[in-house]
Structure formats: structure tokens, C-alpha cells
Amino acid sequence: MFYEEAAYNRASELLRASEDSGQRGRFEMRLRLALHLSPKTAISYDRRNATPRWRLIYAHLVDGFAYPAESSEVLARAIARTLDNWDEKREGVTAHKNFLIQRDGNRCQNCLAVLGSTDNVTVVTKDPFKPYYLAPEELLRAEVDHMEAVSTFGTNDRSNLQLLCRLCNSGKGDGLGLSVRQEAQFAGFEIGSSPISYRSALVYWVIERDGRKCPLCGLTDRELTIRPVIDNGSLVRSNMRSACVVCAGPTASAAVTV
Ligand SMILES: [Zn+2]
Ligand SMILES: [Zn+2]
């Protein structure tokens, strides 16, 4: 790993790459370097090719860039891994879905909804805080998530993968959190008129913050949703808490008492 970093760092210097702006910048720089240093045959690599990807890159480094042969293998292998990760990320790692269902069960690992099922309580009750009912087939679709994002050096190793429902996965976004800017934009909205994208971000980040279990009953096997702490308070994370569908009770709008 040290040598791999060193090889990338050296290549960065050769490109006179400026120091990055955070982890996302680092991955983008890696990818840019990988694309820059690879021949076309390695970028649009056919997996049936008898020559390993890294060997194509190795030859290109030595022949095209006149890199020293003795230190180019490490760099070529690192570049091939970067391209592999990128390809797999783009393919959505769907090949891992069945494995993950076997390992973790057919539930969203964040909100614990049963994936692909319209029997979830929030669908039946049309919970506006978890708006599956607006597009159940779409929003309850199982998606493979990188717990640590590929963009921050997460890998496609199965230990870094989990299944999320589409609602949670889109709410997670780039994994960097919900910005105050977004909160300020929608804080004054009624839940029913706020965009699904904002509601999904609240669902993901509030449930994740509260430990993916019901803070009221402590159970970890019931679907989770979110509710405001103060019913007529603003639509921001800090005014939300998670609750299982039993403890949550009716939705806020129905529960408001004057
Ligand atoms: Zn979910
Ligand atoms: Zn509960």
C-alpha cells in the first residue's frame, strides 16, 4: 500500500498535479492520472482479453512514458485497480446483490424496510416522511451501496458493501452529509410539499445518526421512519428523530393537536 501511494505521488509530481481539495479531489486526481497514464486498450478493457489489464498499462508506461521498468509494475497494478473500481462502480456492483441478501437479509440496511415490498407499513399508511408510496417500485428498489464511497477510496470488497433502498441511497448522496444550504432551502416547507430528494436526505441522515434502530423501543427489526421532535417546528435534521413504525404512531400532520 505504501509503495502504491508512493508510485501515485510520484506520478502526480510528474504531472505537476496541484494538491487536492479533500478526499473527493484525491480520487478524482487518481482517476485522472489513471486515464492519463493508460493506453486506450486498458481503459475500454475487455475482460475476455488474455493479457491482464495492468500489463497493458505497464507496457504503455515503459514504452510510451519511458517510465523505469523496475518501478512501473507497482504503478501499473495500482492504475489497473483504479480502473477496475471505476468500472465496477459504474456497473452498480449488481453482481453482489444476491450475496448481500443472503448475508444481511432482504432489508435496507439503513431504514430496515423490506426491499421491493409494498407491504412495508410506511407504504400502506402513506407516510409523508418516507414517501415510498409516491413511487414504490422505484423507491423500494434494492441498491448496492459502498459504505465508504469509492470516491473516498472505498473498495468493492464485500465488507464495504451493503444494500440500501433507493430512497436511502439517494438520500445518502455522495455520503458527505446534508448541507446547511439544503436545509435552509427547505426548512420552512410543509413535509408534503418538500421535494422527495430532500425528504430522502432527511430519512437517510436522521436514521443513520440515531444508530439505525428505534430510539424508543430499541428494536432493530422493524422498519424505521422519521418524525419531527416539535410538530410545527422546521424541517431540519435537528428537529427530526427516528422511530420504528410502531413507536412513530400516526404521521405528524394527523397527530397535530391544538
Ligand atoms: Zn432505506
Ligand atoms: Zn420502536
Q: How far is the CA of 70 from the centre of ligand 1 (A)?
A: 49
Q: How far is the CA of 138 from the centre of ligand 2 (A)?
A: 26
Q: Which ligand is nearest to the CA of 206?
A: 1
Q: Which of 39, 59, 91 lies at the terminal end of a domain, its last residue?
A: 91
Rounding to the nearest 10 degrees, give the CA dihedral for residues 156, 157, 162, 168.
-30
**Residue 236 pLDDT > 90:** yes
Ligand 2 centre to CA of 226 (Å) is 11
22-to-58, 89, 151, 175, 212 alpha-carbon distances in Å: 29, 20, 11, 14, 28
Same domain, 113 and 27: no
Mean pLDDT of the chain: 86
HEC-encoded secondary structure of the chain:
CHHHHHHHHHHHHHCCCCCCCHHHHHHHHHHHHHHHHCCHHHHCCCCCCCCCHHHHHHHHHHHCCCCCHHHHHHHHHHHHHHHHHHHHHHHCCHHHHHHHHHHHCCECCCCCCECCCCCCHHHHCCCCCCCHHHCHHHHCCEEEEECCCHHHCCCCCHHHEEEEEHHHHHHHCCCCCCCHHHHHHHCCCCHHHCCHHHHHHHHHHHHHHCCCCCCCCCCCCCCEEEEECCCCCCCCHHHEEEEEHHHHCCCHHHHCCC
Task: Print the domain residue range for 172.
Answer: 99-255
Do 22 and 109 belong together in one domain? no
Do 49 and 73 lie in one domain? The reply is: yes
Both 60 and 177 in one domain: the answer is no
The pLDDT of 166-183, averaged and rounded, is 92
Percent of the chain with pLDDT over 90: 62
Note whether 59 and 104 are same-domain residues: no
pLDDT-derived band at 25 (thresholds 50, 70, 90) equals low
Q: For residues 84 and 171, state if they share a domain.
A: no
Same domain, 129 and 244: yes
pTM recorded for the entire structure:
0.65
Q: For the chain, what is the domain count?
A: 2
Domain boundary (38, 71, 91) is at 91
Res. 148 pLDDT band, cuts 50 70 90: confident
Of the candidate ranges 90-99, 137-146, 157-166, 187-196, the one whose mean pLDDT is the lowest = 90-99
What pLDDT is recorded for position 107?
97
127 and 204 co-located in one domain: yes
**Among the ranges given (152-161, 182-191, 246-255), the one the predictor scored with the smallest mean pLDDT:** 246-255
C-alpha cell at 186: 427547505
| Ligand 2: centre distance to CA 212 (Å) | 11
Q: What is the pLDDT of residue 12?
A: 65
Contact criterion met (CB below 8 Å) for 38 and 60: yes
84 and 161 assigned to the same domain:
no
Q: What's the grid cell of residue 31?
A: 482517476
Question: So what's the pLDDT on residue 111?
Answer: 98
CA 230–ligand 1 middle distance (angstroms): 23
The closest ligand to the CA of 122 turns out to be 1
| Cα distance between residue 73 and residue 79, in whole Å | 10
Residue 19 has a pLDDT of 46
Q: Indicate if 193 and 85 belong to the same structural domain.
A: no
Beta-carbon neighbours within 5 Å of ion ligand 1: 108, 110-111, 165, 168
Considering only CA atoms, which of 106, 128, 166 is closest in space to residue 248?
Answer: 128
The pLDDT of residue 39 is above 50: yes
User: CA nearest 110: which of 213, 18, 183, 188?
Assistant: 213
- pLDDT-wise least confident of 107-111, 156-160, 206-210, 243-247: 156-160
Q: Are residues 152 and 117 in the same domain?
A: yes
pLDDT for res 153: 63
- From 91, 119, 147, give the residue that closes a domain: 91
Same domain, yes or no: 87 and 121: no
Q: Which pLDDT belongs to residue 146? A: 86
Residue 18's pLDDT band, with cuts at 50, 70 and 90, is: very low
Backbone angles phi, psi at 238, to 5 degrees: -70, -15
pLDDT of residue 147: 87
Mean pLDDT on 14-41: 73
Ligand nearest to the CA of 164: 1
Residue 40 CB partners (closer than 8 Å, separation 6+): none
